[in-house]
Chains A and B, each alone.
Chain A
Amino acid sequence: MTRRGRAAATGPAPTERLRVDPVACAGVAICARVASDLVDLDRWGFPVLASGALGAREREAARRAVAACPRRALWLDVADVDDR
Chain B
Amino acid sequence: MSVIATPAAAHRRHPAHDGRLLTADAPVPRVGPADPLGPAPRDDLDRHHARLGPRPRGGPDLIDDVEAAALTGRGGAAFPVAGKWRIALSATAATVVANAAESEPLSAKDGTLLRQRPHLVLDGLAITAEALGAARAVVWLHGDDDGAHRALAEALAQRRAAVPLDPVIELVRGPSHLLAGESGAIARALDGGPALPRLRRGPRGHGPVTVVHNAETLARVGLLARGLSGDGTRLLTVLTPDARLVVEVARGTPTLDVLRGTGLDVARPPEAVLLGGLGGTWLPWREVVASVVDDGAAPGRVGPSLGRVLGPGVLAPIPPGSCGLAETAAAVAYLARMSARQCGPCLFGLPALGHALAELVHGRARAADARRLVEDLDAIRGRGACHHPDATVGLVRSALDVFAGDVVAHLSGRPCVGARTVTLPVPGIRA
Q: What residues of chain A have their CB less than 8 Å away from a CB belonging to chain B?
A: 19, 21-27, 42-46, 48, 75, 81, 83-84
Residue of B nearest to A45 (CB): B344
B201 touches A21 (CB 8 A): yes
Taking the closest CB of chain B, its distance from the CB of A47, in whole angstroms, is 9
**Which residues of B pack against A, CB within 8 Å?**
197-201, 204, 342-346, 348-349, 352, 376, 379, 382-385
Q: How far is the CB of A40 from chain B (nearest CB, A)?
A: 10
Residue of A nearest to B372 (CB): A43
From B375, which residue of chain A is reached at the shortest CB distance?
A43
Which secondary structure characterizes the binding site on chain B? loop
CB distance from A2 to the nearest CB of B (A): 19
CB distance B379 to A22 under 8 Å?
Answer: no
Distance in angstroms between the alpha carbons of A58 and B260 in the assembled complex? 60
Instruction: Report the nearest B residue to A83, measured CB to CB.
Output: B200
- Chain A residues with Cβ below 8 Å from B352 are 44
Which of chain A's residues have a CB closer than 8 A to the CB of B198? Answer: 23
Do B343 and A25 touch across chains, with their CB atoms under 8 A apart? yes
Inter-subunit contact A22/B349 (CB<8 Å): no
Main secondary structure of the interface of A (DSSP, over half): loop
- List the A residue with the shortest CB-CB distance to B198: A23
A42-B379 contact, Cβ under 8 Å, with A21-B199, A22-B385, A23-B200:
yes
Q: Is the CB of B348 within 8 A of A22?
A: no
Q: Which residues of A contact B383 (CB under 8 A)?
A: 22, 46, 48
- Report the separation of the CA atoms of residues A38 and B344 in the bound assembly, to the nearest whole angstrom: 19
CA distance A83 to B221 in the complex (A): 27
| A-B contact sample (12 more), CB < 8 A, given A44-B345, A46-B345 | A22-B200, A23-B199, A23-B200, A24-B201, A25-B344, A26-B344, A44-B344, A44-B349, A46-B344, A46-B348, A48-B383, A83-B200
B202 closest partner in A (C-beta): A21
- CB proximity of B369 to chain A, nearest CB, Å: 14
Q: Flag if B342 contacts A44 (CB, 8 Å).
A: no
CB-based contact A21/B345 at 8 Å: no
Asked if residues A42 and B382 are in contact (CB atoms below 8 Å), the reply is no
In the complex, the answer to whether A23 meets B379 with C-beta atoms within 8 Å is no
Can you list 15 A-B contacts with CB-CB less than 8 angstroms, sorted by A residue number?
A19-B201, A21-B385, A22-B200, A22-B346, A23-B200, A25-B343, A27-B344, A43-B379, A44-B344, A46-B344, A46-B348, A46-B383, A48-B383, A75-B201, A83-B200
A84 to B385, CA, bound (A): 9
CB distance from A54 to the nearest CB of B (A): 18
Nearest 6 pairs between A and B by C-beta?
Answer: A46-B344, A22-B343, A44-B348, A21-B201, A23-B342, A23-B199
**Residue picked from A19, A21, A22, A23, most chain B C-beta under 10 Å:** A22
CA distance A81 to B203 in the complex (A): 12
What is the bound-complex CA distance between A21 and B204, given in angstroms? Answer: 15
Cα(A24)–Cα(B385), bound, Å: 10
With both chains docked as a complex, state the minimum distance between the C-beta of A77 and any C-beta of chain B, in angstroms.
9
- Residues on A with C-beta less than 8 A from B200 are 19, 21-23, 83-84
Residue of A nearest to B349 (CB): A44
> Which chain B residue lies CB-closest to A77?
B201
* A42/B385 in contact, CB under 8 A: no
Q: Closest B-chain residue to A44, C-beta based? A: B348
- Which residues of chain A have C-beta atoms less than 8 A from B385's C-beta? 21-23
* Chain B proximity of A73: nearest CB distance (Å): 8
Max chain B CB contacts within 10 Å: which of A42, A48, A84? A42
Residues of B contacting A84 in the complex (Cβ-Cβ under 8 angstroms): 200, 382
Residue among B198, B204, B342, B344 with the most chain A CB within 10 A?
B344
**Which residues from chain B contact A25 at a C-beta distance below 8 Å?**
343-344
Give the complex CA separation of A52 and B356 in angstroms: 32
**A79 vs B342: C-alpha distance in the bound complex, in angstroms?**
25
What residues on A are CB-neighbors of B343 within 8 Å?
22-23, 25
Distance between A76 CB and nearest chain B CB, rounded to angstroms: 11
Quick one: closest B residue to A74, CB to CB? Answer: B201
- Inter-chain CA distance A21–B345, complex, in Å, is 12
